[in-house]
């Protein structure tokens, strides 16, 4: 009843006596004469009088629709809490300007470095690869001045070669750049060792050149073939591949043994040649044990080169 639109509808202004008389005269002429006060009312007149509240009358503020539109009742505290909870569930609440970030958000922000991100050059395995290159370079630099520093730093470089793959899988940071970096570093480090040995074992320099050529050529041919056919890396071999290659690339223990033996064979050969009198005795035993894995690795390289050449020739025949 106190709504602004209802307040605007004001009661009509009071009319003068002459105006009321003229209106009453005109009303009497235009409508039948009202019954006397003590005259019995007809049923229709009684019904109209009793139902005046539900018809149009002068008390606009008491119209039924206006009575229905009442101000909302005050809600209880529990009702307000339930409404607030439902609203919070339906729409995310905007964080306050000075509100501390949640632990999950803080953790995701601080751990971005150890997940897959856009800065591929800063992937953890790639950083390990850079450290590996630095260690191998320093080892070669002091190869003839400090053989034990050479052995320690080259061994550390080889350990980095094992760690980069583990961290790449752990942090989901495997990348094509990392694969190429790892393979190129492998080949360059092996060639550097063979160059050092060629300078020390002059009678074996042709053998050192042959071993370096076999290592580079077999891996280059093999990688090119598997990139050309769209395989997922050079380790994704088909079931029809040579059994030795399948074992080498699918069995990490066997592969690690062969690669370790090659590196240790070259390193101990350098130490034994540079310091034959002062080198500890166990270096001789290590050299002989590593020779077995070294021989197996060279056989695997030959098999890898032959298989890659055959595959390329088959591709050429099919394309004719």
- Indicate which residues carry an active-site annotation: 186
Nearest to 216 by CA among 238, 183, 260, 252: 183
Nearest to 164 by CA among 140, 150, 184, 191: 184
Residue 150 corresponds to which tokens in the numbers above? 């050479």
Alpha-carbon gap, residue 42 to 21, rounded angstroms: 27
**Under a CB-based contact definition with an 8 Å cutoff, are residues 193 and 168 in contact?**
no
The answer for residues whose C-beta is within 8 angstroms of residue 18's C-beta and 6 or more apart is none
Alpha-carbon gap, residue 253 to 269, rounded angstroms: 24
Q: What angle do CA 82, 87, 92 make, to 5 degrees?
A: 135
Alpha-carbon gap, residue 85 to 225, rounded angstroms: 62
Residue 159 corresponds to which tokens in the numbers above? 């350990």
**Under a CB-based contact definition with an 8 Å cutoff, are residues 132 and 157 in contact?**
yes
The number of CA neighbours under 13 Å toward the Cβ of 97 is 0
The answer for residues whose C-beta is within 8 angstroms of residue 196's C-beta and 6 or more apart is 140, 143, 144, 270
**Under a CB-based contact definition with an 8 Å cutoff, are residues 293 and 258 in contact?**
yes
Residues 173-205 as b/e (b if ≥16 CB within 10 A, e otherwise) read: beeeebbebbeebbeebbbbbbebbbebeeeee
Alpha-carbon gap, residue 19 to 34, rounded angstroms: 20
Class of residue 171 by CB neighbours under 10 A (exposed 0-12, middle 13-18, buried 19+)? middle
Which DSSP symbol is given to 1? -
């Amino acid at each position: 009843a106190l709504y602004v639109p209802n307040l605007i509808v004001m009661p009509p202004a009071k009319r003068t006596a002459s105006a009321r008389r003229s209106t009453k005269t005109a009303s009497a002429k235009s409508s039948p004469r009202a019954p006397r006060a003590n005259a019995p009312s007809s049923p229709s007149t009684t019904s109209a009088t009793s139902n005046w509240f539900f018809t149009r009358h002068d008390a606009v503020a008491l119209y039924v629709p206006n009575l229905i539109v009442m101000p909302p009742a005050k809600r209880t505290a529990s009702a307000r809490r339930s409404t607030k909870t439902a609203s919070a569930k339906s729409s995310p609440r905007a964080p306050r300007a000075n509100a501390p970030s949640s632990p999950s958000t803080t953790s995701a922000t601080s751990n971005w470095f150890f997940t897959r991100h856009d800065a591929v050059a800063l992937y953890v395995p790639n950083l390990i690869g850079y450290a590996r290159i630095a260690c191998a370079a320093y080892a070669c630099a002091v190869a003839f001045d400090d053989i034990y520093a050479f052995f320690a730093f080259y061994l550390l470089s080889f350990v980095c070669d094992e760690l980069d793959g583990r961290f790449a899988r752990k942090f989901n940071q495997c990348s094509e750049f990392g694969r190429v970096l790892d393979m190129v570093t492998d080949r360059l480090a092996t060639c550097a060792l063979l160059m050092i040995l060629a300078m020390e074992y002059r009678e074996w320099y042709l053998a050192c050149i042959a071993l370096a050529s076999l290592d580079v050529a077999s891996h280059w041919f093999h990688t090119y073939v598997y990139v050309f056919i769209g395989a997922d890396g050079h380790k994704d071999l088909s079931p029809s591949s040579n059994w030795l290659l399948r074992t080498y690339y699918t069995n990490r223990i066997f592969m690690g043994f062969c690669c370790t033996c090659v590196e240790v064979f070259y390193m101990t050969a350098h130490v034994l040649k540079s310091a034959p009198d002062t080198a500890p005795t166990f270096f001789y035993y290590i050299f002989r044990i590593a020779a077995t894995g070294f021989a197996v690795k060279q056989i695997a390289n030959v098999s890898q080169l032959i298989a890659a050449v055959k595959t390329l020739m088959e591709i050429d025949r099919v394309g004719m």
